[in-house]
Amino acid sequence: MTTIKIFGARDADTRLLRDNLNLALSHLPIDSKVEEVSEPNKIKFNGVQAMPALMLDGQLVSEGRVPTVEEITSIFQNRLLLKSKIYRLGTITVPVDMSKPASNALQFAWQLAEKFDSRLDIIYALDSIFEGGLPSASGFLSGYKKTIDTELEAFVKESLAGIGVAYESPAQKASAPKDPEEQSPQKISLSVHYGFPEAVIEERSRNTDLIVMGTTGRGGVARELFGSVSTEVSQMAHCPVLFVPDDAAYAGFHNVLYTSNFDSLDALRVKQAVNFAKHFGGRLHFVHVGAADEKGLDLERKLFEIHYEHSDPEFPFLFTRVMGDNVVEQLNDYALFHKIDLMILVTHHRSFWEGLLHKSITRKALVGAGVPLLVMHSDDDMLR
């Protein structure tokens, strides 16, 4: 059952919101429960800043105005999209190892965070000193962590300076005069964690909306993506993962390649991709990956057209198909020819990696042109 809350002072605007909501619900097959909240303490507790407001399943979807019946209908039709992590992007996590690829990934993530007004969560996994798989409790380890903390701050400061961003540590901000115009628009947190990187990142992925990781650059995505850490992250993360080659400079995503198969072709996944591309004014290229003798492509294209049309795109899409033994090379060629800025790989089941593409993808670079790769698991990318 969908829980709906209306926040207001029982005035004309609140009544209009209630009437518009009832009209929208009368045209939708939704099992719902509507509650009106007017007590100031409850309104404040729910994080409402302006009234009237509308909340859907614990998420504020409208504040300070009365949405039309059509707007409310659209909100309900897209209610699953509103719960997807890639739609919200409240927090972007960047695992770093203080290398050049990690520095580039951090710069890339900062610019994405600025675009989406996201919080930036920078983490470092400390796994070099272990006793039976657990961190040592010695004083040496404690001192070593303080050293890493200092090095991490220096790494972040130097990396962001490369794109003209002045980072100040919490201690520096606390001692500096308060000047709102000089404060960074980003909320940045740094933390060092004990544990193996893949385990630390997987656990972190439960409470973040996107992970951004660096790779070795042109022709290197396959080596990194299917290295020990990146393989685990790409397969086991509980949020989308963006892999950024170290020679990829952020310039937005004007042409987005959505590569998928029948299993992951559904309305929500298409809406997620379309919505993400719309933030950048990007055109979506849908590329179906399948076996040479696969049937039903015409039906798939029709389904995609229907899903795409209902996703409210700004630009028409391009539809094509790649098949056979050289899937990776064909994706490479397509990306180069169409000047693709981002590849989105949607997997329905995590075993997809070991299925259709596993032999060729481990031998060749998936993105030979140095294009960022966004991996989305359609079975585990929703808010909990």
What integer pLDDT is reported at residue 228 of this predicted model?
Answer: 58
Instruction: Report yes or no: 243 and 230 within 8 Å, Cβ to Cβ.
Output: yes
The secondary structure of 261-329 as a DSSP string is -GGG-SHHHHHHHHHHHHTTTPEEEEEEEE-TT---HHHHHHHHHHHHHTT--SS--EEEEEESS-HHH
Return the pLDDT at 277.
Answer: 87
- Percent of the chain past pLDDT 70, that is, above it, reads 72
- pLDDT score, position 142: 62
331 close to 361: Cβ distance less than 8 angstroms: no
Higher pLDDT, 362 or 366: 366
Domain count for the chain, please give it. Answer: 2
305 within a domain of the structure (yes/no): yes
Burial 224-253 (b: 16+ CB within 10 A, else e): bbbeebbebbbbbbbbbbbbbbbebebeeb
Report phi then psi at 252, rounded to 5. Answer: 80, 180
Mean pLDDT computed over 114-129: 86
User: Mean of the pLDDT values across residues 218-227?
Assistant: 46
Q: Which of the residue ranges 136-140, 159-163, 234-238 would you say has the lowest mean pLDDT?
A: 136-140
Q: Please name every residue paired with 224 in a beta bridge, in sequence order, or none if there are none.
A: none
- Backbone CA torsion sign across 298, 300, 306, 310: negative
Domain contains 112: yes
Q: Which residues contact 203 (CB under 8 A, 6 or more apart)?
A: none
- In this structure, the answer to whether residues 90 and 62 fall within a common structural domain is no
Taking the C-alpha atoms of residue 14 and residue 52, their distance in angstroms, rounded to an integer, is 6
d(CA 121, CA 138): 28
**Residue 36 burial (10 A CB sphere; 0-12, 13-18, 19+):** middle
If asked whether residues 104 and 36 sit together in one domain, one would say: no
Decide which of 77, 93, 113 is a domain's last residue: 77
Per-residue model confidence as pLDDT tens digits over 32-47: 889 999 999 999 999 8
Residues 273 and 295 in one domain: yes
Residues 84 and 69 reside in one and the same domain: no
Q: Is residue 17 part of a domain?
A: yes
- Assigned domain for 151 exists: no
The answer to whether position 111 is within a domain reads yes
**201 and 58 together in one domain:** no
Q: Which amino acid is at 6?
A: I
Please give the pLDDT value at position 320: 79
Q: Determine the residue type at 137.
A: A
State the average pLDDT over residues 358-372: 53
- Tell if the pTM clears 0.85, that is, is over it: no
Q: What is the pLDDT of residues 257-280, one digit of tens each?
A: 888 765 556 677 788 888 888 889
Work out the burial of residue 142: count CB atoms within 10 Å of its CB; fewer than 13 is exposed, 13-18 middle, 19 or more buried.
exposed
Residues 327 and 228 in one domain: yes
Cα distance between residue 169 and residue 90, in whole Å: 21
CB atoms under 10 Å from CB of 138, counted, come to 11
Residue, of 378 and 189, whose pLDDT is higher: 189
DSSP letter (8 states) at residue 182: G
Distance CA 274, CA 288 (A): 16
In a domain, 168, yes or no: no
CATH assignment of the domain containing 20: 3.40.30.10
Residues 66 and 84 in one domain: no
Which pLDDT tens digit goes with each residue over 172-216?
A: 665 555 554 444 445 899 999 888 888 899 899 989 999 999 876
Residue 92 within a domain: yes
Q: Are residues 106 and 29 in the same domain?
A: no
Contact 96, 152 (CB under 8 A): yes
Domain assignment of residue 320, given as a range? 80-126+193-384
Together in a domain, 89 and 40: no
As a whole number of angstroms, the distance between CA 139 and CA 162 comes to: 35
Structure tokens at 316: 């028409």
Residue 288 lies in a domain: yes
Note the pLDDT of residue 58.
84
Last residue of a domain, one of 77, 95, 113: 77
Q: What is the Cα gyration radius of the chain?
A: 23
Which two tokens mark 131? 């006793």
Residue 147 is predicted with a pLDDT of 85
Q: Which of 115-119, 203-207, 363-367 has the lowest mean pLDDT?
A: 363-367
For residues 212 and 349, state if they share a domain.
Answer: yes
Residues sharing a CB contact under 8 Å with residue 153, sequence separation 6 or more, in sequence order: 169, 190
Check pLDDT > 80 for residue 330. Answer: no
Same domain, 118 and 6: no
**Residue 55 phi, psi (nearest 5):** -120, 135
Three-class DSSP category at 172: helix
**Is residue 57 domain-shared with residue 110, that is, in the same domain?**
no
